[in-house]
């Protein structure tokens, strides 16, 4: 089938490349002509493991191409996937202006009837409203994405589920045709109405956020009670009704999706008349995690003013160069405004972090970041930080203090090397 993908970002590119791999002919377009030029040269302008290879494979096969001309992308396809950003507005609701203008442009330019699949995360009711706005020639389908950054290729090629929301039988048929190879492979394929598909997407991200906040609230409890959150979560995870996923205590959740989707979901259901206060609490508890790490550092150093604190990891999680709402940057800002000198290293996100928080003294490797530091803080659990040599860390640092903001380091090895090692959710 011929498909257009509108939006060449962290959702659009993996979506397009995977549709190419499934055998479709895909044209990707974006309003950012430079981004398209970069992609045409086979370069992905952000860090996503395996994506560049998949893009180049698609280009070489002739099934994947990039164009800065929407009319060119829309020349002939039966479906267009909308993969544009839906950021937060000042009240925390989803700002749908980019989505609406992309949808308007597609509907205006498309030569014939078209299925418009909305991949972007949107509040419930958006597909219905778009359908009213665009008229009957454009059949709007809610088809939310479930791509984790750092694992987007895997999630696009082997999704945990595909959910397709439409009440139009022809659109349902066409979407099934697009996803046929995945359905044949046994991917759970859920057909429903658009509103249910939209709620399902927000429900998943809000639930993941809720798990993280639940464990971080437990971490605060354990710190006060002299208990150990790692053992508490091990006991919880042994029960497969609970499971182990998203129960890692730490600095909290960040990224482009979880924080904004949590708020957008709360706002969307408030507009419908439901007060989902639980979601507001999840947000509040998430902020406490950075406060708790800051308090740890402050008490370990007897105040942070004039001290040098080294942040290991700046991305919102490992496997990405994205620093959007990264807890590491929240901590960096907090430390800098309290008078600390903040150094930092991240294997992928250094430049993005520096652009956001210029106060961070960016280092080229972890040991350089640790040079003369009074305290090291693990903010993002990149594998390479687990392999740091405690003796070498001790040699370069001014004081042997480690705050493990992701409970991912070998505390025994650090303690043996003479460090004062503190992790989240345990008495200091």
Q: Which residues are catalytic?
A: 257
Q: Least distance to ligand UGA from the beta carbon of 146, Å?
A: 4
Q: Which stretch binds ligand UGA (CB under 6 A): 15-23, 218-226, 241-249, 336-344?
A: 241-249
User: What binding mask, one character per residue, do residues 315-354 give for ligand UGA by CB under 6 A, x or -?
Assistant: -xx-------------------------------------
Least distance from ligand UGA to the Cβ atom of residue 364, Å:
24
Q: Looking at 250, 313, 344, 400, which residue binds ligand UGA (CB under 6 A)?
A: 250
Nearer to ligand UGA, 30 or 149 (CB): 149
The stretch near ligand UGA (CB under 6 A) out of 68-76, 244-252, 293-301, 340-348 is: 244-252
Interface region with ligand UGA, contact rule CB under 6 A, candidates 36-44, 135-143, 144-152, 306-314: 144-152
CB of 100 to ligand UGA, least distance (A): 20
Contact between 66 and ligand UGA (CB under 6 A)? no
Rounded alpha-carbon distances, angstroms, from residue 288 to 222, 253, 264, 282, 400 = 14, 11, 20, 10, 26
Query: Which one, 65 or 317, has the nearer CB to ligand UGA?
Result: 317
Binders of ligand UGA in range 184-223 (CB under 6 A): 205, 208, 212
Cα dihedral across residues 58, 60, 66, 70: positive or negative = negative
Q: Which of 2, 75, 180, 246 binds ligand UGA (CB under 6 A)?
A: 246
**Cβ closer to ligand UGA: 243 or 277?**
243
Residue 323 near residue 338, CB atoms below 8 Å: no
- Contact status: 114 vs ligand UGA (CB under 6 A): no
Residue carrying structure tokens 């907090």: 334
**What distance in Å separates the CA atoms of residue 48 and residue 58, rounded to the nearest whole number?**
16
Query: Does 405 participate in binding ligand UGA (rule CB under 6 A)?
Result: no
Interacting span for ligand UGA (CB under 6 A) from 75-83, 92-100, 108-116, 243-251: 243-251
Nearer to ligand UGA, 140 or 424 (CB): 424
Region of 75-83, 141-149, 172-180, 357-365 interacting with ligand UGA (CB under 6 A): 141-149
Compute the distance between CA of residue 193 and CA of residue 371 in angstroms, rounded to an integer: 57
Nearer to ligand UGA, 216 or 343 (CB): 216
CB atoms within 10 A of CB 331: 27
Task: Describe the strand order of the beta sheet including 420-423 as a list of residue ranges.
Answer: 361-362, 341-345, 308-312, 375-378, 401-404, 420-423
Instruction: State the Cα angle at 372 between 376 and 412, rounded to 5°.
Output: 40
Nearer to ligand UGA, 148 or 333 (CB): 148
* Minimum CB–partner distance for residue 179 and ligand UGA (Å): 17
Interacting residue with ligand UGA among 118, 197, 257, 328 (CB under 6 A): 257
**Least distance to ligand UGA from the beta carbon of 78, Å?**
25
- The answer to whether residue 382 forms part of the interface with ligand UGA (CB under 6 A) is no
- Binding footprint of ligand UGA, residue count (CB under 6 A): 23
- Nearest approach in angstroms of CB 265 to ligand UGA is 11
Q: Residue 331's closest CA among 272, 386, 380, 279?
A: 380
CB 136 within 8 A of CB 74: no
How many other CB atoms sit within 10 Å of the CB of residue 314? 32
Say how far apart CA 198 and CA 277 lie, in whole Å: 20
**How many angstroms separate the CA atoms of 294 and 105, rounded?**
47
Based on DSSP, count helices (H) and strands (E) in the chain, helices before strands: 18, 14
> Taking the CA atoms of the chain, what radius of gyration do you get in angstroms?
23
Options 148, 176, 333, 420; binder of ligand UGA; rule CB under 6 A: 148
Q: Can you read off the two tokens belonging to residue 79?
A: 């479906």
Q: Report which DSSP code applies to 25.
A: E
Select 58 or 313, whichever has its Cβ closest to ligand UGA. Answer: 313
Q: Which residues contact 7 (CB under 8 A, 6 or more apart)?
A: 30, 82, 83, 84, 85, 102, 120
Q: Restricting to residues 303-322, which ones interact with ligand UGA according to CB under 6 A?
A: 316-317
Are 135 and 104 in contact by the 8 Å Cβ rule? The answer is no
Interface with ligand UGA (CB under 6 A): 121, 145-149, 205, 208, 212, 246-248, 250, 252-258, 261, 316-317
């Amino acid at each position: 089938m011929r498909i257009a993908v509108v939006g060449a970002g962290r959702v659009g590119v993996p979506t397009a490349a995977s549709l190419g791999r499934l055998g479709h002919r895909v044209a990707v377009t974006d309003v950012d002509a430079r981004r398209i030029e970069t992609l045409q040269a086979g370069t992905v302008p952000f860090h996503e493991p395996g994506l560049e290879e998949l893009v180049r494979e698609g280009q070489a096969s002739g099934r994947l191409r990039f164009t800065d001309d929407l009319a060119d992308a829309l020349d002939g396809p039966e479906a267009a996937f909308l993969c544009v950003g839906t950021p937060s507005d000042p009240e925390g609701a989803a700002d749908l202006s980019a989505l609406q203008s992309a949808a308007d442009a597609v509907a205006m330019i498309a030569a014939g009837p078209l299925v418009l699949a909305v991949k972007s995360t949107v509040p419930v009711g958006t597909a219905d409203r778009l359908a009213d706005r665009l008229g009957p020639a454009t059949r709007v389908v809610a088809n939310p994405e479930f791509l984790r950054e750092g694992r987007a290729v895997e999630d696009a090629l082997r999704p945990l589920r595909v959910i397709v929301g439409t009440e139009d039988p022809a659109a349902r048929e066409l979407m099934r045709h697009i996803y046929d190879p995945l359905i044949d492979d046994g991917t759970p394929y859920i057909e429903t109405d658009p509103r249910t598909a939209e709620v399902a997407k927000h429900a998943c991200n809000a639930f993941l956020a809720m798990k993280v906040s639940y464990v971080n609230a437990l971490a605060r409890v354990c710190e006060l009670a002299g208990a150990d959150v790692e053992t508490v979560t091990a006991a919880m995870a042994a029960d497969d009704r609970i499971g182990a996923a998203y129960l890692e205590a730490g600095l909290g959740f960040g990224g482009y999706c979880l924080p904004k989707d949590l708020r957008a979901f709360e706002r969307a259901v408030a507009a419908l008349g439901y007060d989902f206060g639980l979601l507001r609490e999840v947000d509040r508890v998430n902020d406490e995690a950075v406060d708790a790490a800051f308090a740890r550092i402050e008490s370990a150093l007897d105040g942070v003013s004039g001290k040098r604190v080294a942040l290991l990891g700046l991305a919102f999680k490992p496997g990405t160069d994205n620093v959007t709402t990264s807890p590491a940057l929240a901590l960096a800002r907090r430390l800098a405004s309290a008078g600390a000198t903040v150094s930092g290293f991240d294997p992928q996100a250094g430049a993005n972090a520096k652009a956001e928080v210029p106060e961070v003294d960016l280092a080229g490797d972890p040991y350089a970041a640790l040079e003369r530091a009074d305290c090291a803080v693990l903010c993002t659990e990149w594998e390479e930080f687990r392999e740091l040599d405690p003796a070498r860390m001790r040699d370069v640092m001014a004081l042997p203090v480690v705050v493990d903001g992701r409970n991912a380091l070998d505390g025994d090895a650090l303690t043996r090397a003479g460090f004062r090692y503190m992790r989240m959710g345990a008495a200091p």
